[in-house]
Amino acid sequence: MKQIKTYPAFNYIDTECSTGAISPIGKMLSHVDLPNYTIAEGRFRNEIEELKTYIGIREPISDIYNYSVGVEKNPWCMAYVGVSASARPKIPFSPFGSLEIKARAFYKPFGGRIGPWYYNKYPSGSASYGGSQGGPNDKTDQNLPPRLADTANMGLPGDPTRAANFSRYVGDKVGMKSRRVLYQYGQAIYRLDPNWTVNAQGNVDTQNEPVNFGDSAPNFEHWKHLPFAFYRRGANQDLLAWDHSGDQPSRMRYLELSAILPDPFDLTYYSIEPDFYHNYYKRLENGFLKGVGSGYYAENKELLGDIGTHKGSTKEGINWDKFSVKDQYKAVESNSFMKKYVDIAGKLTYISTKWQDVLTSWAPVSLVDYSLDPAKFGKCTITPRGADTGEPEVPNPGNCVSGGTTGYSVKMVSSDYLRRTDLELGGVGVRGALLNPPPEDSEF
């Protein structure tokens, strides 16, 4: 695995205030040149001081707080398992006496996905240790900012390619700069406060500015559990907005949840588990962390749930305590504010609207017919008993017993295949041999 570090530029308009005028100043967000307002002691001064050292690129490049879009798998280091067994049976009337019989087999996972390469080619041999390679036009996601290691492809902060952006579907040329995206979410944020009005000059009416408490406006207080308090032992594990004064999910939270719902790009390049809590969280909590991983809790850390978790809450009919992707779909679909001000069905049609869409791994026709069954792909006809109430008796990966799947399957491969020197694994036309071929038959 190689982490994909990127270098986005966050540009904004700052202001220079004087007795005579207010002047706009274009800036790039950094920990050195802070917005002018923060120079004075303000309400969030302590939070800004705590966060500012994490803005921009930190040294060394491998620092965990640098911007990352995940990892890419080196295709030339293949995951597989080999099994061999031998026996020396006694064969009646055999003129040769007993003979040693040996069998061996190799198996490899397939169908699971952890995300795309940054570029569409991955060189073989020792060159593969540097990750995927290419130029600006060879990126799998054309909207991603430059990779941190590719200094030759990096423009100035004002360069549009430096914008923090990503594709919504394969071949997307615009990403989150889409006018529909900007309008839908801009309108929804504006509608968070019913008193936020515009005067005849087109400016926000200063007599009706948004208030700074509760859930009646965009509110920095909704993220006061960040940056680090959320993961400490006994904390709420929450990364998203939360109305702390009312101890309930804020409307901004629903906007965040809708913005990170799976889209066609995610469904193509990632394996997504719709019920992480029951399939993995509980197993980790009751298994690994009670055994060899027990020291984790001694570091005052909490085992984090899926994004959207808020421990101990079941407000608004959502079990935030056991939150998973399938609950994310339910939360967005059922929220009245989302229904009124964000038109997913009519305008943001790239957003997936049902959790069954994530079941995009291999779904064969039958045990003897491995071809893909389109009647199962992205669908589920039978869920685990109790899953509809949020408490499956026997959780099943993908939250589905009959239908599509998520994650990887396993297939048998020959040792000859694993030893070939012309495997086309690094993209179209990129051939080579595995870095980890199996040993010779005489050795295994």
Lowest mean pLDDT among 13-22, 232-241, 434-443: 13-22
d(CA 343, CA 146): 32
Q: Residue 210 above 60 pLDDT? A: no
- In this prediction, residue 65 has a pLDDT band, given cuts at 50, 70 and 90, of confident
pLDDT score for 208: 58
pLDDT score for 203: 65
pLDDT greater at residue 428 or residue 367:
428
pLDDT score for 170: 94
pLDDT tens-digit series, residues 118-175 = 999 999 998 888 899 998 899 999 999 999 888 777 777 777 888 889 999 999 999 9
pLDDT score for 258: 96
Q: Residue 344 above 90 pLDDT? A: yes
pLDDT score for 404: 93
Q: Residue 40 above 60 pLDDT? A: no
pLDDT score for 196: 67
pLDDT score for 367: 81
pLDDT score for 230: 82
pLDDT score for 329: 96
Q: Please state the rounded mean pLDDT for residues 89-113.
A: 85
